[in-house]
Amino acid sequence: MKREENSLIPIHWQSNRRGRPRRPSVKSCFSLAVLITLVTWLSPGQGLWAGPQAVGEPPSKIVILKEKQLLELHQNGKTVKTYRVCLGTNPVGSKRVTGDAKTPEGEYFICYKSTESRFHRFLGISYPSVADAQAAFENGLISLDKRDSIVGSLKSGKAPWDTELGGWVGIHGYPTDEHEGRWVTILYPKPDNWTDGCIAMWNFEIEELFSKVSLGTPVVISP
């Protein structure tokens, strides 16, 4: 995924009375460090990571009903918007391993947001979850160390998307490339399932959803 380069205005050394450069103070160095952190984190279009929301009733929640191919946006306990969505090409059953073209089932959260996506907008889902990792370990799909690594990544606020269970599952639009987007739209119009396991919607719909949810928003995916 393409990253934007951040350009910062350097802080020039001040000159003392003898015309020699004077080292910046500890305060100015600290201010520069804070500035670098903020610019790196808030650069337009850069993907952002986060962990789940704090315990309590969340202001927003996404509910995905796989059998009906519906995505519901809940706010303050009420359904405020419903979208028809496309799923993985092998939608029945929960995702277990990479390449199975299944959409996950379970409780997750929005852990990543990016406007620089091949599919217009991308809302990353925290798959695999702790429950997914435990089930995979019990079924002999991953080792104990791998299970613990997945759990540790989730606690740090980043989804472990480089395991045997698959990754980069999220909610997105249609391809931004004009040629590719045209053919996908013709061959797989909604509600035809065409993804590798993600949840897809029209580009204007993902723009709307993207603007309404924040990092940490709960996502519940039911069969």
At 49 the pLDDT is 54
**191 to each of 69, 93, 206, 221, how far by Cα in Å?**
7, 18, 15, 17
Distance between CA 90 and CA 100 in Å, rounded? 7
Tens digit of each residue's pLDDT (9 = 90 or more) over 18-72: 444 444 454 444 444 433 333 333 333 445 555 555 445 568 999 999 999 999 9
Q: Are strands 21-22 and 199-200 parallel, antiparallel or unpaired?
A: unpaired
- The predicted model gives 124-151 an average pLDDT of 95
Highest mean pLDDT: which range of 78-82, 161-165, 179-183: 78-82
Closest CA to 174 of 120, 108, 124, 95: 120
Among 7-11, 41-45, 153-157, 172-176, name the one with the lowest average pLDDT. 7-11
Strand partners, 221: 64, 106
Per the structure block, which two tokens stand in for 222?
A: 């039911």
| Level-2 CATH architecture, domain 48-222 | Beta Barrel (2.40)
Spell out a b/e string for 141-164, using b for 16 or more CB atoms within 10 Å of the CB, else e.
Answer: bbeeebbebbbebbeebbbbbebe
Total residue count of the chain as it appears in this document: 223
Q: Is the pTM of this model over 0.75?
A: no
Angle between helices 144-155 and 130-138 (to 10 degrees): 180
DSSP H helical ranges for the chain = 26-42, 130-138, 144-155, 178-187, 203-212
Yes or no: say if 145 and 120 are a contact pair by the CB < 8 Å rule. no
Domain residue limits, the chain: 11-42, 48-222
